[in-house]
Amino acid sequence: MVDFQDDVAVVTGGTRGIGRAVATRLADGGATVIVTYHDDEEAAERTADLLAAYPTDTRVEQCDVTDFDEVAAVFETISDRYGSPTILINNAGTMENGLLVRMTPEQWQHVLDTNLSGAFYCTREAARLMLRNRGGRIVNVASVAAQRGWPGQVNYAASKAGLIGLTRAAARELGEKGIRVNAVAPGYTDTNLIENTTSYEDEVADRTASGRLATPDEIADVIAFLASDAASYVNGEVLRVDDGLLG
């Protein structure tokens, strides 16, 4: 098991799906874990119960990542209580699919605000704290959609492509200060997010080696690797976790 004993980890959108799997991986390794969520109180309560079973300190905090003031306030709370976080997982994400010519500016903006601006706000606040310690690890949850560009997802694909750009630039800027910034690009993963996505089954069946969706744990394992010291020489990288979906 990877050792996260001395770590304070923040996982955005950590109450469901991939984020919850990451939070439990980090807690398994001994990390103090703070997960954030948006508005699903039931999922937040379930996750709080799950994390309460761990001997380390855990917290579940409501925070809309599209709101810079809320993000700043959460990181201030974290800083007051724990000092600097050592790990940030920018996982919170959303999807609002629609054909380009019918997509409203609101649909476009909401997805960009959540998936890209939200990650920037959290990275900004976390990095300011991590710089004091001259160390940290940030993992951004992108998507193969950034590279593949499925129809009906111009907003989602653009947000994830932007997140990859953010990852590479931040890695160059923060690397020499001891902060590594990497991304994962998962393929289709079995979570609520893809409930309303149509016609991916054939592609998954035909183009992945296993013929099935990823489990959240399979993505979480790779995120945990990038967040760990085992990846100490990995920086600015985007790791595809798609079982060959993109070939």
To the query of whether residue 54 is one of the catalytic residues in this protein, the response is no
Angle between helices 118-133 and 154-175 (to 10 degrees): 10
Answer positive or negative: Cα dihedral of 161, 167, 173, 176.
Answer: negative
Q: Which is nearer to ligand NDP, 133 or 215 (CB)?
A: 215
Angle between helices 41-52 and 17-28 (to 10 degrees): 10
Q: Which is nearer to ligand NDP, 86 or 94 (CB)?
A: 94
Q: How far is 219 from 234, CA to CA, in rounded Å? A: 17
Q: Which is nearer to ligand NDP, 7 or 64 (CB)?
A: 64
Which string of DSSP letters, residue by residue, matches 186-212? Answer: E-SBSSGGGTT--S-HHHHHHHSSSSS
In the complex, the residues that contact ligand NDP under the rule CB under 6 A are 12-13, 15-19, 36-40, 43, 63-66, 91-94, 114, 118, 141, 143, 186, 188-189, 191-194
CB of 5 to ligand NDP, least distance (A): 26
Q: How many CA atoms lie within 13 A of 183 on its CB side?
A: 26
CB of 215 to ligand NDP, least distance (A): 10
Q: Which is nearer to ligand NDP, 82 or 200 (CB)?
A: 200
CB of 42 to ligand NDP, least distance (A): 9
Q: Which is nearer to ligand NDP, 86 or 91 (CB)?
A: 91
Which of 54, 156, 188, 233 is catalytic? The answer is 156
Contact 209, 236 (CB under 8 A): no
CB of 83 to ligand NDP, least distance (A): 23
CB of 55 to ligand NDP, least distance (A): 24
Q: How far is 244 from 145, CA to CA, in rounded Å? A: 14
H or E stretch including 21? Answer: helix 17-28
Residue numbers annotated as active site = 156
